[in-house]
Structure 1
Amino acid sequence: MTSPPIGRPSAWTEQAACAQSDLPVQSWDADQPPHINAEAILVCNTCPVALECLLEHGRDPDMGIIAGLPARKRGELFAITNRDLRPVHGSRSRYMGSSRWPGCRCGKCRDAHAKYEQEARARRKAGRATA
């Protein structure tokens, strides 16, 4: 099993198809030959968390294959949907909002934010205990 081809892991990365794949991490790099990227795209096409991957890492032009899309295709997608693209309900990102759209206060988003805060407190507490 290899690590997902993304930087800082999020909770959903454990469910990512790339995390379960036997392909080397470099398979998702943009400078790989097309047949290597094609294998990575096939893995992405079976991924249950491809949307989360796209939302979290899709705007990074330095990333290779993300959610089955190369950087050029992702750029086209985000250019079309830039104003309307928001994180999914039930995520802390949707709760927090951004400069372009207000945060959401539905039950799912409040629960996601509360869970994040609880986990952050536990991490801070664990950090103080080891120091």
Structure 2
Amino acid sequence: MNKHETYAWFRVVFIGTACAWLCWRLFFADATGGADIWDRNRETMSIVSYAFVFAMAVFTRPGKGVVADERDRAISAFAAKSALVALSLVVLVSATIIGTEGHADLLTARSNGWFEHYLFACVMFGWWVESAICVFHHWRDRR
């Protein structure tokens, strides 16, 4: 496994677990409407997010060995494009659902912290799609 594939596997597992946990908390936890729960988690989520972005920069630095060949760049570009499409679809579906009358009560019951975490979950889903596509293409190339 090359460096890019190892890193993609790490991202799939880490981001997938974090996104699943956050989505479970957003939609299935008992106290989803309380503002105090989301306001307490806001600072922690921000610190973890910055730490993850810093770790991505450190682990993918071009200091050792081959940085990327042409195939790695093609996989990365295709994965980024697919992640953008996935994020766009999530935002479009969310906007469509928000516009329906049946969800007005649901939205007024949510706090600003809940919406902030929901948007963060959407971004995490886009990151996960990008990582999953990288893993698939690297795995397929090794076969």
Pair in the same fold by TM > 0.5: no
Higher helix share goes to which structure? 2
Normalised by the length of structure 1, the TM-score is 0.27
Whose Rg is larger? 2
Larger relative CO (CA 8 A, sep 6+): 1 or 2? 2
